[in-house]
Amino acid sequence: MPDSQLCLEALSALSGCNVEATSGVSQLSPQDFVNIVTLKEFYKQEGFKELEYPSIGTLSLQDPEDQDLYSAPLALTEGPGPEPSLRATVKINLQDFFHPQYDYDFTNIKDGSAQYLRGNEPYIRPCGWNRVALRVSKKYDDSDVWLGTGKDAWPVSYNGHNMDGSLGIILAHKGGPSDEPSFLDAAAASLVEERKRGRGVYSTPDIKMAEKYCKRFKSKVDGKTYKVVLQNRINPEKRVKCQRDHFWVVYIPEDYSDLQTKAIVQESIRPYGLLLKQA
């Protein structure tokens, strides 16, 4: 397992919280972290500025790293004295949260033409990354079949950063609009069929695509910059493949409450690895 403080920094970068170690009970589970990461992107897509999450309160959805020249500056706290941190502090127990027995370092591995399956679907292994295993075995009521390698296992997906909505995934194209037929077809369909607008939570089965959207942070442990991605399993009955290749969405209906939205994420995406790679 990489340095534990480095792992805490990675979780902090992903969640937007200050994640610290404790010998007591963890405030958040691995499932909570994937909930927070995906819900933050979803609610940003919906135009919200904050996310309320049980046990930690209000989380800001305004990430200074994502601000551009046209973004409004973050509001300054009024009143005397230094401005308090906008980041919530979260305590986790390292022994309860991580599962070193299942760590796997893919840093120097190249799969080439080798093919792997999870749930009878292609599994693109995270070659070039170091995987820190999360303690999720026997944490769900429906056994660990979802975490296996057989036909009933859930397929693998990766959560990047800023993987949001119809404009971000189905209609948008880095560098401007594309005139490729596949892009134009997706854009036209999204305007005709409301469901194709992609209101929901996004992930990708392709680690190279996730890397393009991944979060970066500079570590105080060694001064190096790292990329971080969550490796998950996704419920094949809840996931829909987007018209643009390499993206999956779990749809969230317009009339769903915050509680229902959290519930559908929780029953659709389960994390099992924290991926780190030196930038």
* pTM score over 0.85: no
Distances (CA, A) of 109 to 3, 127, 128, 209: 21, 6, 6, 18
- Mean pLDDT of the residues in the chain: 83
Question: Does a structural domain hold residue 238?
Answer: yes
Which domain range does residue 61 map to? 4-65+85-277
Question: Does a structural domain hold residue 259?
Answer: yes
Q: Each residue of 91-130: b (16+ CB within 10 Å) or e?
A: bbebeebbbeebeeebeeeeeeeeeeebbeeebbbbebbb
- Pair 152, 145: CB distance under 8 Å: yes
Residue, of 196 and 59, whose pLDDT is higher? 59
pLDDT tens digit sequence for 23-46: 999 999 999 999 999 999 899 888
pLDDT tens digit sequence for 167-212: 344 443 333 344 555 544 544 554 444 444 568 899 999 999 999 9
Question: Does a structural domain hold residue 78?
Answer: no
Name the token pair of 64: 């200074």
Question: Does a structural domain hold residue 80?
Answer: no
Q: What's the total number of domains in the chain? A: 1
Question: Does a structural domain hold residue 184?
Answer: yes
Question: Does a structural domain hold residue 185?
Answer: yes
Measured distance CA(38)–CA(265) in Å, rounded: 8
pLDDT band at 75 (very low <50, low <70, confident <90, very high): very low
Name the token pair of 199: 């209101």
Name the token pair of 253: 């209906």
Q: What single letter denotes the amino acid at residue 94?
A: L
Name the token pair of 208: 């190279």
